[in-house]
Structure 1
Amino acid sequence: MGERLAVVSGGGTGIGAAIARVLAVDGFDVLVVGRREEALRATTARISWDIARPGAVRAVVADLADPEQVSRVAETVEGRAVDAVINNAGSYRGGDSGTLAGVAHQWRANLDANVLTAVLLTEALRPALRRPGGRVILVSSIAAQQGGGGPYSAAKAALHGWAYDLAAQLGPEQITVNVVSPGYVTDTEFFGGRMTPQGHARRVAATLVGRAGTPDDIAEAVRYLAGPAAGYVTGQVLGVNGGSVLGR
């Protein structure tokens, strides 16, 4: 058993799986949380095998928008101090916007998937956060800063405001709270097969470095914020977007 524990939501595939891997390599025990048991089990087995540390990564199946299931995640921690909570779970939720009822349903679905999941998991684990030295990291999106995603953009932007508030609350206990805001990243399930060659080319052309991001790019930013070198960094939004949106 490692000395440090990280909890990563949305950890079965894509960015979440890459985050789980780098943290496990750095010696964390990692608890990955998601709704799809098969994806979670495959990821935990693959990472544990690759780093030759059996049991380093464990899985908990839970819908983080459901308070009762979130409580089960907290119970799985089994009394250990939690060194890092990485709120990566989230997705774009489409819907019928032709009626007011449809608009309301779509907005609630996006807020539940991207904001409520992070709030409930963080609040459930808040008593267990290591003091001093705990880390809370929220994975947002470039859509929060440049728009284009309707309710998804609004939901991700809400994470920024909440992160500032949470950083002020937890700062006196020397717990940091930061946001990683990815730009266009390939090798994830976000677009669900909807990405066209033209859409890909347009997004790459919007960067200053001439390439799309990878899950590992985002994972490395999380690795920094979760590590000892970032102890004086809190209340910040770190854009990892190839220059598509410049820092402000």
Structure 2
Amino acid sequence: MSTKTAFITGGTSGIGKATAELLHARGWRVMVTGVTHVGDADLPDGVRAVRADLASLSDIDAAAEQAREHLGSIGLLFLNAAAFRSGPFESTSEEDFDVVFDVNVKGSFFTLQRTLPLLGEGSSVVFTVGAGEGTGAAMMAAKNSLLPLMRSLALELAPRGIRVNAVSPGVIDTPVYSRMGMAPEALAAWGAEVPLGRVGTTTDVAEAVAYLASDAAGYVTGEDLVVSGGMGVHPRTA
């Protein structure tokens, strides 16, 4: 890939921030979006952060224009922004349902559409698809709808030389768990049940995204790279 530029949505914390830091350290020019912590994200110098709510098409349009001005072209589009609403099915409100679909699905769809003119041959698009487990039926539905979307786009954009993949994190130590009210001890206990015996780090996922964006993954498209420490492969035995 000739253009080392990255546009990362949801890049002011968690996995998105870790990916921005990793790529910046490797010489990429990076721009991120976020809704919170945009002004105090403590990102490396040179990483531009802009406020954009991906539920808003006008915000998406403005962010795409800033990407054009700041980056010129996009080598990696990392569609990582997410809205989380947990809770049981029977108490999920229409508002909660709309929020998770507006950000996770509609927001990703139109961010790619609006930035597509900036992606050329050799560019890579990566969706964050995992991390829906245990967060409620609406969140699961929104996240799982991204996989068929990703595969459809991989076929549609292949003639342009644009690869489209997904990364599915397992149990990763991100701020989302504290926002859901999970204590650090509970998260650590959950990680102990993972075959590799630990909770994943945001850097674990960032490295996977960096791989999918690299020339080393030049023949990889339409795939979901699971970064879970072996969750779902088999139950851990004592």
TM-score (norm 1): 0.85
Structure 1's 202 and 219: CA in aligned 2 closer, same or farther, altered over 3 A? same
For the residue of structure 2 that corresponds to 1:111, the secondary structure is helix
* 1:118 aligned onto 2:108: yes
Q: Distance in 1 between matches of 2:225 and 2:64?
A: 27
Distance 1:62 1:46, change over 3 A: closer
**Aligned pair partner of 2:96 in 103, 106, 109:** 106
Q: Secondary structure at the match of 2:232?
A: coil
Structure 2 counterparts to residues 80-159 of structure 1, below 5 A: 80-94=72-86, 103-130=93-120, 132-143=121-132, 149-159=136-146
Q: After superposition, where does 1:39-50 map in structure 2 within 5 Å?
A: 39-43=37-41, 46-48=43-45
Separation of aligned partners in 2, 1:167 and 1:195 = 36
Equivalent residue, structure 1, for 2:57: 67
Percentage identity across aligned positions?
A: 34
2:19 alignment partner in structure 1: 19
Distance change in 2, residues 1:174/1:245 (3 Å): same
Deviation of 1:190 after TM superposition, in Å, equals: 4.1
CA-to-partner distance for each residue in 1:172-196, whole Å, 9 max, x for gaps? 1111000000011114234416113
Residue number in structure 2 paired with 1:223: 210
1:231 to 1:195, Cα distance in 2 relative to 1, 3 A: same
**Which deviates the most, 215-224 or 187-196?**
187-196
Partner of 1:221, secondary structure, is helix
Query: What's the RMSD between the two structures over aligned residues?
Result: 2.3
Structure 1 letter corresponding to 2:107: T
What secondary structure, in the 3-state scheme, does the structure 1 residue paired with 2:6 have?
A: strand
5+ residue gaps, structure 2, are none
Long gaps (5+) in structure 1: 49-54
The answer as to whether partners of 2:83 and 2:99 remain within 8 angstroms in 1 is no
Partner of 1:246: 233
Equivalent residue letter for 1:11: G
Give the Cα–Cα distance (whole angstroms) in 1 for the partners of residues 225 and 38 of structure 2: 27
Q: Residue 12 of structure 2 aligns to a residue in which SS?
A: coil
Matching of residue 176 in structure 1 with residue 163 in structure 2: yes
Residue 10 of structure 2 aligns with which residue? 10
